[in-house]
Every structure is written in C-alpha cells, then in structure tokens.
Chain A
Amino acid sequence: MKHFARRLKVKDNINTDYVISGRYKFKIQDPKELAKYIFQDIDPDFAARVTKGDILVAGENFGCGSSREQAPQALKQAGFHAVAAKSFARIFYRNAFNIGLLLVECDTDFIDDGDELELDIEKGKLKDKAKGLVFDTKPVPAVMKTLLGDGGVVGHFKKHGGFSF
C-alpha cells in the first residue's frame, strides 16, 4: 500500500482535545463514526482529506493533554497507517501502542502534505519519496514492538496470560 503524508495547519502541541473534541467524545460511541470528526476545532476540512494508509505528520509534543483513548482510536479508524512526529506526549504514546497504532519519532520539518512516504521501522527509516529525503526514526522500544506485534496490549495480555517482557 502506498502511504501519503497528511499534515495539519497546526504544527506543534496538538492536544487530544484537538484530535477529538469532548463535544463528540461524549456523544458518539462508535469509533468509526467518531473518526469523521477528528481535528474539527483546528482544521475542519482535514478528516475528509484522509485516505486509508496515510501517515499523519506532526511536530513536537503530539497528543498532549487529556488521556482520552478515543484520540488514537479515532486516528486508527480514520485509516492512518502511523503517526510520525518530532515527539509525543506520554499518555498518547502508551494509548496508541496499546490499541495497535504505530508511532514513529523523527524530524518532520521537511515533509509536506501529500508527499509520498515509505516507512521501515526495522531499519529505522522514513523516506520522503517526493523530496528524495530519508529521515532516521528513533528506535521503537522493544516493549512497544512486542505490544504492536500482538495487536495491542489486550492481545498481548490474552496471548501470554499477563505481561511477557
């Protein structure tokens, strides 16, 4: 599958209220339906531009603020293959891997909206094919790889009858 970059107008400190506002979080229970309302308050046309396999590209401190798991869940349901950011807030970071959404940390300044991307987490590379640039991604910690490999923390727990790392 081809992956294309999706960037928001806001670069840094995108909090989970912005990913999915409390207005929708409390009203809509179905994650697929919730996915239609991502980034409503900062970029209302964004959700409509996302296609399956896209990589969400952000700056520093992505996912700060509220602990709402609906944030990574809505991004996953919207079709994102992964989120690439310069850094992530910690609760969002755990939540994403727990539900099986891949996050990668790397320099994202030169990636523009719509650029075709190629991600290889084993080699630790994110390639911007449109620009011919390759970025080193921070190694995904072993714990996170284990969780992701088991389809998230629930899958991991069921498979091993507890934590297995």
Chain B
Amino acid sequence: MGKTIAEKILSNHAGRDLKAGDIAICDVDFCFGQDGTSSIIIDSFKKLGVKKAFDKSKFYMIIDHSAPSPNIGVSEIHKKMRNFAKSLDVGMYDIGCGVCHQLVPQKGHVVCGDLVLGADSHTCTYGAINVFSTGVGSTDLAITLASGKNWFRVPETIRVTVKGKLPKGVYSKDVILHIIKDIGSNGATYKSVEFYGEAISAMSVDARLTISNMAVEMGAKVGLMEADEKVLKWVAERSTKTPKPVAADINAKYVASKVYDVSKLVPQVAKPHAVDNVSDVTALADIKIDQAYVGTCTNGRLEDLEAAARILKGKTIHPDVKFIIAPASREIFLAAAKQGLIETFVKSGCTVVGPGCGPCVGTHNGVLADGEVAISTANRNFKGRMGNPNSFIYLASPATVAASALTGRISDPREYKKKL
C-alpha cells in the first residue's frame, strides 16, 4: 500500500515503516515556544531535571504574543524567557522580530521533509512548505527540548483538491474559509490534510501558508502540500539546510477526498463566534464595523500588506473605524516601508504597530469595547478572542478588511476592480 506525506515523514523520523494509526517515537528536527507557552515549558523542563537542550540549534523561544509587554506579569515572563535562553545558550527572537509562524520558516529553521513541534496551535502553518509541523502543549515541548524526541500517532489523511482559477479579489484566505465551512471545525480532528490542485499550484508560497495555517481550525494535526519548484526556491532562498521533499504515493490511502472548484468563489467571511460560520461577503453588507485589523500569522505577510495598500492608496478610512496594521516580521515591516506601503497606511489613517500577535489574542494593541465589531485577517473569532467577550469578530482576507475599513461596513473588495 502506498503512503501519504504524513506517513512518510513520520516513518523517516521513526526509523521504521509506519502507517496511519501506528504510535511511534520520532526524532524532531526543530521545536519552539512563544511567550504564552514558554513559561510552562521552562517550568516543565526544570522538573525533568535535565540540564541542557538536546541540540542548542534546534530550539528557539519567540516573544510575539504580547510584544512589547503590556503589564508587569508579562514582563516577568519575558525576563524569565531571556534568562532561560542565556542559561541554556539557545536562540531567542525578542520583541520586534515578528510572529513565530513567520519567523520559523522565514529564518530558514525548517525545510521540506522536516518534523517540527511548536508550543502554539498554528504550528501547522509550515505544512505549506512540505514540513510535518504541529502544535503541542508546553510540557510536550519541554520533553522534546530535553530529548529531541516525542511520541506521535500517525494520522489518517484527508485529500483536498482545489480546482479552477481564483477570480480577482478572491484569495487563499477565502479558499480556506470556504473549505472550513464545508469540513467544519471538527471535521479533520486528529487528521492530516493534504492540499492539491491547480488553484494551490498557482498560489505564491505566502498565500499557501495562509491555507496551512488554518488547517487546525478544522481540527487537523497538519495541513500538508507538496514541494513544487516555488517551494524549493522559497526554501533555498532562506535556509542553508538541505530540503528532503516528500510526495505522497499515487496509491496512498485517504480516509476522504474532497474537491472544490473555486473559479466562481466570492470573498468569504467567518461570522462570530466560530471559524466555520462562513458567509459570502455579499450577504453581510449591513454589518457596521468599529475596527479593522490586518496582520497575524495568517495574513501579515508582504503580499497581504500589498493587497490592503492597493485598496487604501489615496483614500482615507471611514471616520468611525480604527484600522490596525501589524506586519508579521521585522523584514516584512522593512520591505513594506521600502515599497511605500507603510506611508500609504499612515496617510489613510491606519495605526501601524510593531510585529506581533497582540490584537489577535486580545493582549494589547486594540482591545475592543463592549458591543464593538471588528473585521480581521486572523484565524480565530472565538468570543472574547480580541480581549472582550462582549464584542464581535469577523474574519476575512486583507482586501476585504481594507475595503470594509473605507466604508465602515463589511464590503466586497471586488468593487475596487482596478486595484486588485
């Protein structure tokens, strides 16, 4: 019987032949924690009684969830992380560097065929560059930091094919929201999802990362894609490690196969308070918004900022709207400044904040008031996610968010045809 990408990568890291359902101890190529999870990683690591990291080059801590710190409690966590990094002589990305899921692939820490664990649920993002990466809790991460290993149950795989050419104004974010609407927030739990099809092939690597990022929103362990030429080039430009691309066998066994034709897809919006509660943008034109947000590990990359800036250029946002922009990394921030995007944002009335997760996780930089409505490029719209349980979050592409910020209502970016 042929193998899926998940079965192959896990077999390669267990040193034996594995199939879905097997449980195995695997070697992990890279692992990390962020400032919401690292404090417990440190505590659990100390409880293990181990004195050093399994490999100093294969563990990083990233300060992104509350960066810079909004209060004393968080400042103490950040200090604890910095001290731990020094004592173990391991790497650290401090405030201003960026969001973990941007930095880990962008800085070349992971390449095709790797097995990666992160103490953050959106670690599945690098599936787009053919990495088996998945989120775990802090204690699981501490075990890997100490031993270089962890145990895995080899997941079954759902095969998703995305056919057709995306219409103008419709992006990878719309595609994944459409898929999540169909599969549901529990539809891929414990499973790997493999994405194929001409619509995926036509996308940039950045756009594909948006899709894999949200695989966990349908419960998936990982959202994998093949390493085509675009991926290999993207990885080669960023990493000195040798990629080991892994493709599924033609006779691999899938638990389900789904086919989506996106040639007529319209911009999609997830409504409060669930990611699979998705509508066409056209059905939501009456929804007034108080805040807009472009950023996060889902949509804070350069082409996301470009899409928003194209719509905003030369215009001013609606007077009742607060528009927050957070580039996903320092490098993206600099590139956006060089291209004049930051100037466009500031002139349009946006507030550009430093790279980080803040508004998405409700820690700072844009907490909503009671009754307020936000439209955001993030991946979660759970009640209270942006810091206030009495507020309402809609999720959409950067273009839809920018179009909505101009009118003060949820708006269709296809109305700005010439700018898409």
| Contact partner, B120, options A67, A143, A153, A162, Cβ 8 Å | A67
Rounded to whole angstroms, the CA-CA distance of A153 and B219 in the bound complex is 23
Give the chain A neighbours of B135 by CB distance below 8 A: 67, 91
| Known A13-B274, A65-B121, A90-B219: A23·B139 in contact at CB below 8 Å | no
B186 to A23, Cβ gap below 8 A? no
Partner of B382, one of A65, A73, A99: A65
Would you call B383 an interface residue if the criterion is a C-beta within 8 Å of the partner chain's C-beta atoms?
yes
Q: B260 near A: Cβ within 8 Å?
A: no
Q: How far is the CA of A144 from the CA of B214 in the complex (A)?
A: 27
CB pair A22–B380 under 8 Å, yes or no, is no
Q: Is the CB of A64 within 8 A of B389?
A: no
Q: Mark A52-68, 1 if CB is under 8 A from B, else 0.
A: 00000000110011111
In the complex, chain A residues whose CB is within 8 Å of the CB of B44: 154
Taking a contact as CB atoms under 8 Å apart, the answer to whether B186 and A67 are in contact is: no
Say whether A25 faces chain B, with CB atoms less than 8 Å apart.
Answer: yes
Interface residue ranges of B337-365 to A (CB < 8 Å): 361-363
Q: Knowing A26-B66, A157-B143 are in contact, say whether A17-B219 is a contact too (CB < 8 A).
A: no
B219 touches A89 (CB 8 A): yes
Contact at B137–A68, with CB atoms within 8 Å?
Answer: yes
A157–B65 Cα gap in the complex (Å)?
Answer: 30
Question: Is the beta-carbon distance between A17 and B382 smaller than 8 angstroms?
Answer: yes
Q: Which residue, of B36, B120, B139, B147, has the highest number of chain A Cβ atoms within 10 A?
A: B139
**B119→A67 contact, CB < 8 A:** yes
Q: Taking the complex as formed, is A94 at the interface, i.e. its CB lies under 8 A from any CB of chain B?
A: yes
- 0/1 interface trace, chain A 24-36, chain B, CB 8 Å (1 if under): 0111110000000
Judging by beta carbons under 8 Å apart, are B274 and A165 in contact? Answer: no
- The reply on A108 being an interface residue by CB < 8 A is no
A22 touches B136 (CB 8 A): no
Q: Given A27-B73, A69-B137, A165-B151, A15 and B382 touching (CB < 8 A)?
A: yes
With A13-B274, A41-B389, A94-B137 as contacts: A69 and B37 at CB distance below 8 Å = yes
Interface residues on B, range: 35 or more
With the chains together, A89 CA to B187 CA distance in Å? Answer: 11
Bound complex: CA A29 to CA B75 (Å): 12
Q: Does B106 count as interface, using CB distance less than 8 angstroms?
A: no
Shortest Cβ distance from residue B189 to the other chain A in the assembled complex, whole angstroms: 6
Q: Are A22 and B362 in contact (CB under 8 A)?
A: yes
With contact pairs A94-B136, A154-B48, A162-B147 given, residues A65 and B380 touching in the complex (Cβ less than 8 Å): yes
Interchain CB contact under 8 A, B139 and A69: yes
Question: Could you jot down 24 A-B contacts, CB within 8 Å?
Answer: A15-B380, A17-B385, A26-B73, A27-B74, A60-B186, A61-B189, A65-B121, A66-B121, A68-B137, A69-B137, A69-B138, A69-B139, A73-B40, A89-B219, A91-B135, A94-B140, A143-B151, A152-B139, A153-B140, A154-B139, A154-B142, A158-B47, A158-B48, A165-B151
Partner-B contacts on A (CB < 8 A): 12-13, 15, 17-18, 21-23, 25-29, 40-42, 60-61, 64-70, 72-73, 87, 89-91, 94-95, 98-99, 141, 143, 152-154, 157-158, 162-163, 165
6 closest Cβ pairs, A-B complex? A95-B137, A41-B389, A69-B137, A41-B384, A61-B186, A67-B121
